[in-house]
Amino acid sequence: MASLRNVAVVGFAQAPIVARDAHRIATEMLYGQVRAALDQCGVERDAIDFQAAGSADYLDGRPFGFVAALDVMGSWPAKPDLHLEMDASFAAYYAWLRIQAGDSDTALVCGYGKTSEGEPDRVLNLQLDPYYQAAIGLDPTSTAALQASAWMARSGATDRQLAALAARRRAAGARNADAQLREPTTADELAKTPWAVEPLRQGYLPPVGESAVCLILAAEGKAEKMCDRPAWIRGVDQRIELQTLGGRDLSRSAGAKLATERALAMAGLARAADVDVVELCATTPAEELILCEAMGLDAAGSRPAINPSGGPLVGNPVMMAGLIRLGEAFRQLAGRADGHGVAGARRAIAHGAQGHCLQQNVVWVLGDERRWT
Amino acid sequence: MDVSRQAAVLGVGQTQHASRRADVSIAGLVREAVDRALLDAGLEHRDIDAVVVGKAPDMLEGVMQPEQFLAGALGAHLKPLIRVHTAGSVGASTALAAVTHVRSGLFERVLAVAFEKQSEGNAMWALSPNLPFMQPIVAGAGGYFAPYVRAYIARTKCPPHIGPMTAVNARENGGRNEYAHLREPMTLDDVMNSPVLWDPIRYGETCPSSDGACALVIGSEDVARRTPHKPAWIRSGASYAEAMWAPGRDQVSPRAGKMCAKAVYDGAGIKNPWKEIDTAEIYVPFAWFEAMWLENLGFCDVGEGWKAIDRGEQKMGAHLPINPSGGVLCTNPIGASGMLRLGEAALQVMGRAGAHQVDGAKTALGHAYGGGSQYFAMWVVSDER
């Protein structure tokens, strides 16, 4: 591996996830996060070289929804910019590439979008291929249920185990001020909730939620001045897979596995289990178990701590849930995770995903020390 | 860190463009361009390290994030992929995002793909959203841009034949481009007598709605030295965006366009674009924008853009041939239109533009814009490093 630039996450701000922010449009929700992230770093907008954002027109129900975000991102005068029609974790990936290319030293990465403006199950049906899959009415809950069935059939996992995992995440969410679900509950209670789509119960799935997030990246030389404890990016990789649900083994995530291997190799780490904290962008307990297997993690172990924030099971704002994982990893390493902080965390993995059944995955390895000298 | 890492265009592919490509699915359309670009670069899918996909609003086809279902057709399974959307500039910013991949040092060969299959939906109404708190007065992109064309005419005393002249020249050029959607010649009278759609924009001064795709293979310097055709070296590239509602924002000659052009010229070491650039492919969806962009891009002073067109400087064989391919006025698969500009600029400096080749083109500009004249993406390519 050639030597790369040391780049760190130096700021992260997130609007608490809510079912519906009835009084603010997406850009109003975002503005406060941009301001807060810059304030954390002690800089003004002119200190940021590049901006990237992730959002989806279809969540807004209109074309060019992202254009309005230019204003609140501080794009005056004009700024070098790229908008990705993706979860904002991939916008962070691109911003990291930009810094590697040497064009920029600092980058602002935003994720936004109001899931509550529409019916996400109907909207996300439109991600599927229009000829064979969308036409039969599949939605993310039903495709996730197909995946959960495939996992349970292969692994022997039981309904009870899914309930127990969901209950652990709910307990973690109670300690995270930005989580949407903050009431702890028991596996017994969750196992009594009705099927959303069998084998997934309503209690195992996140409710519709919305937020806005802003994360700041900076290269060595600037990062130290913008943050007392930067979270250095030691490795990152991303992979997409075929969408066709019958064309891949839904009980496995080949993309997450490969991205993890490559990110760990870049980071000079042998195993994912060598980190202290992992934040997984899993929107069902089965997805989380599939990811743990793909990444070589013990889902039931105490170290590394998995989703101490509660993860997407306690708040899943579409198009930014992945970037929040990266932000949470930063909070852990920077000592800013407050009530859900993992003591002594020095290394972390953050995972972002988008698409049905974990179609596309990005894996970040972070640490409290620089990777390259 | 080597910040001067070079990248080059190794291959260019585009589809046959038409108002309705009923013979192919969305995947088939995209694949037509991808296969041609790979063939052109002498590569196969397995040689590609990462894929960058761009298109304009997903509402145009009614598929959300269609790159997800296209992953197989793009040969992207288990590869890195990103999807770009920067309004009308997206084809160009997609190509530039592929350049960033290569310049990061992590990728040797990156496939950039952009497309639109406008016949799947109705672009004009998909681009006419009814937004909360805003009057629904815009009918299509022309409705949005017509007031700025009127402002340009008022500011510069641009005479009424400049738009029609531009449209006639575009069609003449498009007639020489085997891939162009509209290739039939038009006369000044044809354009002048066509109905006004959005005052002052006439039907004959308007881009078509096209189905089409474009693909580029971008490679590192090391790879470019071993490619079958002479590559187009990317001297510089930039994409800028500016806020929608900033007070004092000028949509006739946007500051973002000037900043982007300056960044690209500075990066390429160009001091006088009028003298140093041999041909330019610029994004002209409505004929009047050719004069406007000549000024915004620094080719001409304010008020001089239409005069250059009036003198015929933009024609083939003249001082600065503009849009030798016929440009957006002949072919407009929206998401791909920006990439076609960059790809056509590359073909010119490769010397492989066929019947619309500009003799001796060594340095070319490719340009695209989008949103409310607020997204700009450009590159300068050259036949030498």
Residue A215, classed as helix, strand or coil, is strand
Distance, CA of B40 to CA of B79 (rounded, Å):
21
B261 and A78 Cβ atoms separated by less than 8 Å: no
How far apart, in Å, are the Cα atoms of B170 and each of B181, B290, B338?
12, 10, 16
- Whether B309 is covered by a domain: the verdict is no
CB contact under 8 A, B105 and A90: no
Q: B4 pLDDT exceeds 60?
A: yes
With beta carbons under 8 A apart, name residues in chain A contacting B246. Answer: 71, 76
Q: B2 pLDDT exceeds 50?
A: no
CA distance B66 to chain A (A): 6
Q: What is the pLDDT of residue A2?
A: 64
Confidence of residue B334 (pLDDT cuts 50, 70, 90): very high
- Segments of chain A with pLDDT less than 70: 1-2
Give residue limits of the domains in chain A.
7-119+208-226
Confidence of residue B159 (pLDDT cuts 50, 70, 90): very high
User: Checking DSSP bridges between strand A277-279 and strand A305-306, what pairing results, if any?
Assistant: parallel
CA distance B378 to chain A (A): 12
Strand partners, A88: none
Distance, CA of A212 to CA of A317 (rounded, Å):
8
Give me the number of domains chain B comprises.
Answer: 1
Q: What is the pLDDT of residue A62?
A: 85
CA distance A194 to chain B (A): 30
Distance, CA of A199 to CA of A144 (rounded, Å):
9
Token pair recorded at residue A214:
């802003």
Which residues, at least 6 apart from A353, have a Cβ–Cβ distance to it below 8 Å? A87, A256, A281, A282, A322, A359, A360, A361, A362
Token pair recorded at residue A350:
């953050």
A–B interface: beta-carbon pairs under 8 A: 195
Q: B149 pLDDT exceeds 60?
A: yes
Query: Which of A7, A83, A117 should we substitute to test contact with B (largest number of B Cβ atoms within 10 Å)?
Result: A83
Q: What is the pLDDT of residue A69?
A: 96
Q: What is the pLDDT of residue B136?
A: 66
B228 and B212 Cβ atoms separated by less than 8 Å: no
Q: What is the pLDDT of residue B367?
A: 98
With beta carbons under 8 A apart, name residues in chain B contacting A93. Answer: 82
Q: What is the pLDDT of residue B129?
A: 74
CB contact under 8 A, B84 and A83: yes
Distance, CA of A72 to CA of A212 (rounded, Å):
12
The b-or-e profile of A244-265 (16+ CB within 10 A means b, else e) is ebeebebbbbbbbbbbbbbbbe
Place of tokens 């002594």: A344
Distance, CA of B326 to CA of B329 (rounded, Å):
7
Q: Of the candidates A74, A48, A90, A98, which has an alpha carbon nearest to the alpha carbon of residue A321?
A: A90
Token pair recorded at residue A329:
């990893």
Q: What is the pLDDT of residue A138?
A: 96
Give me chain B's average pLDDT, please.
Answer: 96
Pick the CATH number of A7-119+208-226 from 2.20.70.10, 3.40.47.10, 3.40.190.10, 3.40.1260.10: 3.40.47.10
Q: B125 pLDDT exceeds 60?
A: yes
Q: What is the pLDDT of residue B122?
A: 86
Query: Which of A30, A58, A82, A248 should we substitute to test contact with B (largest number of B Cβ atoms within 10 Å)?
Result: A82
Confidence of residue B170 (pLDDT cuts 50, 70, 90): very high
Distance, CA of B75 to CA of B110 (rounded, Å):
12
> pLDDT tens, B14-72?
999 999 999 999 999 999 999 999 999 999 999 999 999 999 999 999 999 999 999 99
Torsions phi, psi for B90 (to 5 deg): -60, -35
Distance of CA B382 to the CA centre of its chain: 17
> pLDDT tens, B173-193?
999 999 999 999 999 999 999
No. of H helices and E strands in chain A? 12, 14
With beta carbons under 8 A apart, name residues in chain A contacting B104. Answer: 97-98, 100-101
Query: By residue range, what is the domain housing residue B19?
Result: 7-122+208-224
A310 and A173 Cβ atoms separated by less than 8 Å: yes
Token pair recorded at residue B253:
């000659």
Q: What is the pLDDT of residue B319?
A: 97
> pLDDT tens, B63-113?
999 999 999 999 999 999 999 999 999 999 999 999 999 999 999 999 999
Determine what percent of chain B is predicted with pLDDT higher than 70. 97
How far apart, in Å, are the Cα atoms of A270 and each of A266, A350, B287?
10, 16, 59
> pLDDT tens, B215-257?
999 999 999 999 999 999 999 999 999 999 999 999 999 999 9
